[in-house]
Each structure stands twice: as C-alpha cells, then as structure tokens.
Structure 1
Amino acid sequence: MNKNISKLLLPSVVMLTLAACGTTEKTSDQSDWVSLFNGKNLDGWTPKFNGSVVGENYNNTFRVEDGLLTVSYDQWDEFKDYKMGHLFTNESYSNYRVRVEYRFLGEQVTDDPKLAWAYRNNGVMLHTPPAQDMELDQAFPISAEAQLLGGNGTDLRTTGNFCSPSTNIVQNGELKTEHCIKSNSKTFHGDQWVWFEAEVHADGRIKHFINDELVFEYSELQIDPQDEYGAKWLAAGKPLKITQGHFAIQAETHPTQFRVIEIKSLD
C-alpha cells in the first residue's frame, strides 16, 4: 500500500538513532529525518529469501542485536541454492532521501569461488515492488541497487555503486544496460562505519552519496525489457518508468550491520 511519506513526519523530528550505540557525527541537516528501524525488532519490515515464502526469515538471518539491524549467517551450516535475501519496508515511497550507516564484519558464509564477488558485498534496494510481488525463486527484486562494498585491506574497491536487477538507467543522455557501474567513491577497508545516502525522485533521478560526498548519479530508472522479470512486469501492463517503491536491505553472503536507517520526505 502506497502512502505519502509526508503524512508520517512530525512537525519537528530530530534525527532518531540507536542511542545505545551512538553514531558518527553528520554534518548535513538533521531535521525531518524519520527512523525506519526501531532498534528493538523488525516491526515494519518483511523478509523474502529466494526459495522461501514471503515473511520467512530464513535461518534468522535478519535480526536485531545490541540495537543494530544485523545480517548474520551464524545459523547457516552452508550456503546453497543461491539463497539471497532481502528485508523490505512495508511502506512505499516516492520523493525522498534515505540514509544508512553500515559496516561489514566477520567472514563470508561461503568459500565457493564462484561467489568470491560477494566478499564484503551487500546493498540497499531503491524503488522495489513489495516483497509479496517477488516470485518464489526470484533472487533479486526489480530495483535500483545501491551496491555497498568493503575493501580487502589492499586493493581499491568503490562503494555506493549502481547495480540493475531487471532495470536500466540513463547517464548523460545515454541508456546504460550494464549490470553494475562503479561509483567514484573512496575505498573503506576493515570494519569501519560508513554512511550511504540516496536522493530518490519520482521522475527516476537518483544520486548516491558516501559520507556526504556525491559519488554517483543517474536518471530515468526504468524496466529492462530484455530481463525475465522485467518482461513479465511490462506484459502485466505496468509502466516502463519506475516512479515509486519500497526500500530493502540485502543479505548477500557477508555479515553486515546497520545502526541507522532513516528517511526524509522531499515533498
């Protein structure tokens, strides 16, 4: 169910953070941000793993630990069947800014060399359909994925990149059909906390920021008609351009923590 996010905003809302943990100081305007995560449980969110029904939190992967929204694999014996997961907001949004403070920690759940790309790899999904719209074995929702990557201690590895589950974008007037496109961000090694922020508009314009620095921008977020799920979307009479959607957090084989998840209306 779509709701105008502005109805959720109080007249004056101070940035809500997880008080028990504290956060890195932000220099941007702190007013009008609303927390999407209460620091206690997953109320307001719905998990979906491919191969599992909507609402099943496979192996208790998404959980709250010490006030942090945590993607954990300590209850997995092995990683198989490409079991990717996503945690969706129950509400849908259009014109907004969203920000998270995240970090990678621990070891990847699998040592499968085919999944080496998923080392310190996670993401947040913008303008997704609701969890209930995903097919049983669908690994990734239609969305604009803001890819979050951590460094290996040596090599350069940008974060805040763009990936395209069933979508295409336009940059500098050119249609881009690559699956992933790198940002111009710095590399963040180790378990340090990093801020990611996205400015998302109903007309398909989206900007990615890392620690308040603009690192990637694009426009005209749209369905990829060559993609299996994109083709089904269009065959169902849904529009080519994506103008609204839910927000989701990935579970993509590497333990990750989030201590701030906030949204602010641009209406």
Structure 2
Amino acid sequence: MRILSVMLSIMMTLGCSGTSKSDQWITLFNGEDLNDWVVKMNHYHAGENFGNTFRVEDGLLKVRYDQYEFTDEFAHIFYKTPFKNFHLTVDYRFSGEFEQQAPHYAELNSGVMFHSQSAESQNKEQNWPVSVEMQYLADLGDGKRTTGNMCSPGTNIEYQGKVFPGHCLKSSKKALPKDQWVTAELIVNGPKITQLINGEVVLEYTNPTIDGNDHTVKGQSPEYIQGGKALDSGYIGLQSEGQPIEFKNVKIKILD
C-alpha cells in the first residue's frame, strides 16, 4: 500500500507540473521567412506575392508597395493550417505613406481575417476572402475612429442576440496614433468571439455564418455563398489594402 501511495503521489506531481497543449503558445511568424504562409492577392493566383508586397525585414512581417502602384490589389497572407478554437495575439504598427490610388477607407486600415476560406480556394479575380475580420485602424487626427472593430466580408455575426445588419461593428476603443505598436488579441471559443486591444476587451459577438446576400465579396465560388452556413473554423490571414503596416509577435494558443 505504501508503494502504491508513493507512485500515486509521483504521478499527481508530474501531472500538475506538466503543461497541457492549451497552455502552449505557438509562434506563427518566425521573424525570418514566410515559408509557413500563403499569399492571395486580388487578380493573382494563390502563392503569387506580386511586387514583394509581403516581406520580412528586421524581424518584422512588412506590407509594402514600393514595387508597383497599388489600385485594388487587396491581399492577405494566410497561415498554412486552419484553426477552430484559439487565442491569437498580434502586434501591429502602421507606417509609411498611404497609396493614394487605393480606396479612401483603406487609409491606416488593416486587420486579421479568421474563420476564412483558404488562399487556394479563392478565385483569381476574388477581391476578399469570405471570412470575419478583426479590423485595425489608426487615428486620422479627428478622434472619430475606433480600432478592434468587426467587419464581415461575405458573412454575418450576431451582436446582443440579433444578427448585426451592417458590414462593420465598432468597438469601444478609440483608434491609436500611427507609428505606435498596438497589441491585438482575438479569442474564439465556440460561437463566442472576444476582441482585445492592449489587454482591454473592446468587443464581443457570436455565431458567425456565411451571408448569401452580401455583395462585399465578388468572385467567390458557389460554396461560399451558402447563406446561413455556420463558420466555426478556418484560416487566419493578415491584410494588405493600400496602407503600409508591420506585424510581429504573431502567436496562437489552441483552446479546448
């Protein structure tokens, strides 16, 4: 009996000192290359990083347009595997000058897409992925913007128990100045989504689904126009839409 008791005590100690999978942070961007990522740009096939738009410099994942004149080459760079329930953290910083040929709303505007279709499933002339976006904005100087918003290209979400009728839902956090590092966190736990900016909860909503009547996304396959289809998993992508931006510390924790 004494030997059994000692063995049980050792097992309990080992169990308490171990780290479960859900406690481990996984680094998605290694600061060295983009080998684990796939680019999809409007007018280009998956895997074509036209104009070296996404690049690694100084340990940062940078979005730049110095090799072409941006008009509507909206783009995203997707991590290679999909995720279901997770806690994602990303540091972002807007820098450089806005591309004047881009749409005006894209100034100091970017974001992270999640529950997204893969890069490979998007058609060449598809402008946006069907997904949900945690939108990042910087202040334009008038104090009117918020950051950590939700936008829904080709999708719907529920807010306060009802389907939200608009395309973007504002958060409670005022947008921060350009050239300032900001930590954005996204927690997807079943149907509930929580968004944080610099450790502060700024928005919560639930139940993302495909919106068969939304015309924001153009050029997608019929599979991604199935209105009402639940979105409970998908790919994560960082956005490019005409404003230079930098990302670092892109990490994820898998939730049970």
TM normalised by structure 2 equals: 0.86
Correspondence 1:79 to 2:70: yes
Partner residue of 1:126? 114
Correspondence 1:244 to 2:236: no
Deviation at 1:235, TM superposition (A): 6.4
Partner residue of 2:170? 182
Deviation at 1:231, TM superposition (A): 8.4
Partner residue of 1:19? none
User: Could you tell me which of 44, 61, 76 is aligned with 1:52?
Assistant: 44
In 1: Cα distance, 2:205 partner to 2:145 partner: 20
1:185-264 equivalences in 2 (<5 Å): 185-201=173-189, 203-227=190-214, 232-233=222-223, 240-264=229-253
Rate the CA distance shift 1:212–1:235 in 2: closer, same or farther, 3 A.
closer
Rate the CA distance shift 1:263–1:142 in 2: closer, same or farther, 3 A.
same
SS, match of residue 133 in structure 1: coil
In 2: Cα distance, 1:91 partner to 1:231 partner: 21
Q: In the TM superposition, what whole-angstrom CA distance separates every residue of 1:159-198 from its partner, at most 9, and x where no partner exists? A: 0101011000111111113111110012201311000000
Q: Is the CA contact 2:143–2:174 (under 8 Å) kept in the aligned structure 1?
A: no
Aligned residue pair count: 234
Unpaired runs of 5+ residues, structure 1, are 1-10, 14-30
Unpaired runs of 5+ residues, structure 2, are 1-17
1:17-28 equivalences in 2 (<5 Å): none
Rate the CA distance shift 1:156–1:245 in 2: closer, same or farther, 3 A.
same
Q: Is the CA contact 2:212–2:225 (under 8 Å) kept in the aligned structure 1?
A: no
**Range moving further from structure 2, 145-154 or 45-54:** 145-154
Structure 1 segments, 4+ long, off by >4 Å, are 228-231
In 2: Cα distance, 1:256 partner to 1:86 partner: 12
In 2: Cα distance, 1:186 partner to 1:213 partner: 12
Q: Is the CA contact 1:225–1:231 (under 8 Å) kept in the aligned structure 2?
A: no
Partner residue of 1:155? 143
Q: In the TM superposition, what whole-angstrom CA distance separates every residue of 1:102-146 from its partner, at most 9, and x where no partner exists? A: 00011112255xx11111000100111110111111111011111
Correspondence 1:138 to 2:126: yes
Whose Rg is larger? 2
Partner residue of 1:109? 99
TM normalised by structure 1 equals: 0.83
In 1: Cα distance, 2:243 partner to 2:48 partner: 19
In 2: Cα distance, 1:51 partner to 1:122 partner: 19
Identity %: 40
In 2: Cα distance, 1:53 partner to 1:263 partner: 27
In 2: Cα distance, 1:183 partner to 1:189 partner: 16
Q: Is the CA contact 1:224–1:231 (under 8 Å) kept in the aligned structure 2?
A: no
